[in-house]
Structure 1
Amino acid sequence: MFIVEDTIAGLEAAQIPKQRGESLLDNAVRYAEERHWDVFPGAWLEAVDGIQRCSCGDGACSAPGAHPAREDWAGQATGSATVARRMWSKQPTASILLPTGRTFDAIDVPESAGFLALARMERMELTLGPVTCTPDRRMHFFVLPGAAAKVPDLVRKLGWPSASLDLTALGEGSYVAAPPTRLGSRGAVQWARSFHASLKRETLQGAHDYGDAATCRRTVFAWLTRYNTRRRHSANGHLSPNEYEHRHHTAKLTLAA
């Protein structure tokens, strides 16, 4: 595990956008107006026979409802709240995408490595920038522009073969999906910092640590299993993931005669 220290300076936990159950339009405008981030609308989800499909029309879309809707998306991105409001007013269900390489880069890591990094950075009392958690168990650490370009060289200096690391540096020409964008029926992108705080509060319950690694793994696994299946989420209309999927994404089967 290594830490990219070029986190976005000055972003304290209280300043990081919070999920408030508001519309995609409201969130997109807030990112542009309050955070001064460029935003652009991406694809969206459409209900087809009771199943959420991506607006791109590809039945095998790998990121349904969470990718650019047009090739010139980089030129479409705007930091104007007025323009953002106008774009999402035309398509209120469009995903919120943030171009990297402008006000920030992003480091894409597996969820397991991401939570370890968060814990370590908090223990080291490092300044933490925004971190998102995606439904496909990835985490995006927002870092200073240009930091992504340093990652390959840092990996080489540490003597790690790049092929063995499930890590992607996202700089100019890339993008990340912002909360509360939904990734098909898998769930919504969320701010991981509040998720991480809930994990510590509900599992440690005031204790300093878990005691040992095995206890930590068992406890966190049990908590994550409930979080990803039975816990109610505001992004799902205060339904559990299981209940949300049962109500909205149950495939209709035609029985053979």
Structure 2
Amino acid sequence: MEETIPATEAAQIPKQRGESLLETAVRYAEERHWDVFPGTWLETVDGVPYCSCGDTGCPAPGAHPTRPDWATQATGSATVARRMWQKQPDAAVLLPTGRTFDALCVPETAGFLALARMERMQLTLGPVTLAPDRRMHFFVLPGASVKLPELVRKLGWSIGSLDLVALGEGAYVAGPPTRFGSRGAVQWACRPTLANRWLPDAEELISPLAYACGRDR
């Protein structure tokens, strides 16, 4: 079951409901062939959610790795994923980048502006997440983290002047419906479908993303 919630810009965001984190993790591995690994989870004390890591100042409560060797823990096996989440059903669903996809990360306002522009340009998008920290992640083919500085330079920008980051090998994104503390859950701005199984190259999206980030400064 899905419901749509109002978006802050020109889009509506599908929100997943009624699906457990275990079911979601298994489906990502089985249907999308994405590696997954369990992260931290939320524990409620006197009605206040805290990260299971125990840090009261945790910057991503309930949505970060539990161990430094998380990259070796990630699996593309639905069977292994099921076993992992059966041990901790509330664990965040984390997706390592630099494997089947990289992610271009931008502020929410720039992301919605870019989405509207991409629609007018009739660009083919991959999945896009919207996180409660007001960041959007555009899934693209691996290698984006290496290409990004040169792509931005060709457009007349310096990489340090834009709030545009490429997440590649050694990084990760939180997959819906992982929750971030009291701020809500990660959602799909563009959900995975059969049509966007084949991801765009970073070069195809960089112009509208850089333009939107430049406007958002």
User: Normalized against structure 2, the TM-score is what?
Assistant: 0.79
Distance, in Å, in 2 between the alignment partners of 1:65 and 1:127 is 32
How many angstroms apart in 2 are the aligned matches of 1:101 and 1:193? Answer: 20
For residue 188 of structure 1, give the secondary structure of its aligned residue in structure 2.
coil
User: 1:120 corresponds to which letter in structure 2?
Assistant: R
Q: How far does residue 20 in structure 1 lie from its aligned partner after superposition? A: 3.8
**Uncovered stretches (5+) of structure 1, i.e. residues with no partner:** 1-16, 195-257
Deviations 1:83-106 (A, max 9, x none): 000000000000000000000000
Mapping for residues 15-34 of structure 1, pairs under 5 Å: 19-34=16-31
User: Which of 116, 135, 138 pairs up with 2:135?
Assistant: 138
Q: Does 1:50 align with 2:83?
A: no
**Identity of counterpart residues, as a percentage?**
80
More off after superposition, 18-27 vs 96-105: 18-27
Secondary structure in 1 matching 2:40: coil
Q: Secondary structure at the match of 1:192?
A: strand
Residue type at the aligned position of 1:160: W
Q: Which residue of 2 aligns with 1:65?
A: 62
Query: How big is the shift at 1:123?
Result: 1.3
Aligned length: 178
Which deviations, in whole Å up to 9, do the C-alpha atoms of 1:126-185 show, x marking residues without a partner? 111000001111100000011222111111222213222111110000000000000000
Contact 2:29 2:77 in 1 (8 A): yes
Are the structure 2 counterparts of residues 188 and 18 from structure 1 closer, same or farther at C-alpha, using a change threshold of 3 Å?
A: closer
Q: Which amino acid aligns with 1:102?
A: R
Instruction: Name the CA distance, whole Å, in 2 between partners of 1:67 and 1:151.
Output: 25
- Does residue 119 (structure 1) correspond to residue 116 (structure 2)? The answer is yes
Letter in 2 for 1:124: M
TM-score (norm 1): 0.67
Q: Structure 2: which amino acid aligns with 1:140?
A: H
Q: Report the 3-state secondary structure (helix = DSSP H, G, I; strand = E; otherwise coil) of the residue aligned with 1:52.
A: strand
Distance in 2 separating the partners of 1:59 and 1:77: 26
SS of the aligned residue for 1:185 comes to helix
1:18: Cα distance to partner?
Answer: 7.0
Q: Structure 2: which 5+ runs fail to align?
A: 1-13, 192-217
Question: Hey, what's the Cα distance between the residues in 1 that align with 2:36 and 2:147?
Answer: 25
Aligned equivalent of 1:129: 126
Contact residue 126 and residue 190 of structure 2 kept, 8 A = no
Q: Within the alignment, does 1:147 sit opposite 2:144 as a pair?
A: yes
CA RMSD of aligned residues (A): 1.4
More helix by share: 1
Quote the Cα distance in structure 1 between the aligned partners of 2:18 and 2:138. 22
Aligned match of 2:174:
177
- Between the aligned partners of 2:47 and 2:123, the Cα distance in structure 1 is 46
Q: Which has the higher strand share?
A: 2
Matching residue's letter, 2:135: R
The amino acid that maps onto 1:50 is G
Instruction: Say which is worse superposed, 45-54 or 94-103, in terms of deviation.
Output: 45-54
Structure 2 residue aligned with 1:35: 32
